[in-house]
Amino acid sequence: MELRRADIIADALEELVFTGGFHDGDRLDELRLARQFDVSRTPIREALQRLVASGIAEQIPRRGVFVRQPGPVELMEMFETMAEIEGVCGRLAALRISEAALEELDRANASCCAAVEGGDADAYYRENERFHHVIYHQAGNGFLEHEALRLHRRLKPFRRLQLRLRGRMSQSMAEHKAIVEALRAGDPDRAAEALRGHVAIQGEKFHLLMSSLRSAAE
Residues of this chain that interact with DNA (CB under 7 A) are 3-6, 27-31, 39-43, 45-46, 59, 61-65
- Report whether 56 contacts 150 (CB < 8 A): no
Paired residues of 60 in beta bridges: 64
Residue 27, phi then psi, degrees to nearest 5 = -85, 135
Task: Please report how close the Cβ of residue 11 comes to DNA at its closest, in angstroms.
Answer: 13
Interacting residue with a second copy among 23, 143, 164, 167 (CB under 8 A): 143
String marking each residue 158-187 x if it binds a second copy according to CB under 8 A = ------------------------------
Please count the residues of this chain forming the interface with a second copy, following the rule CB under 8 A: 33
Task: Please report how close the Cβ of residue 91 comes to a second copy at its closest, in angstroms.
Answer: 8
Task: Please report how close the Cβ of residue 88 comes to a second copy at its closest, in angstroms.
Answer: 4
String marking each residue 192-211 x if it binds a second copy according to CB under 8 A = ---------------x---x
Q: Examine residue 3 and tell whether it contacts a second copy (CB under 8 A).
A: yes
Residue 34, phi then psi, degrees to nearest 5 = -60, -45
Strand bridging mode 57-60 / 64-67: antiparallel
Alpha helices in the chain (DSSP H): 5-18, 30-37, 41-53, 72-96, 99-118, 121-138, 142-166, 169-185, 188-217
Paired residues of 57 in beta bridges: 67
- Report whether 188 contacts 96 (CB < 8 A): no
Interacting residue with a second copy among 56, 65, 87, 138 (CB under 8 A): 87
Which of these ranges, 42-50, 101-109, 129-137, 177-185, lies near a second copy under the rule CB under 8 A? 42-50
- Report whether 74 contacts 45 (CB < 8 A): no
Residues in touch with a second copy (CB under 8 A) = 1-4, 45-46, 49-50, 53-54, 61-62, 73-74, 77-78, 80-81, 84-85, 87-88, 91-92, 96, 140-144, 147, 207, 211
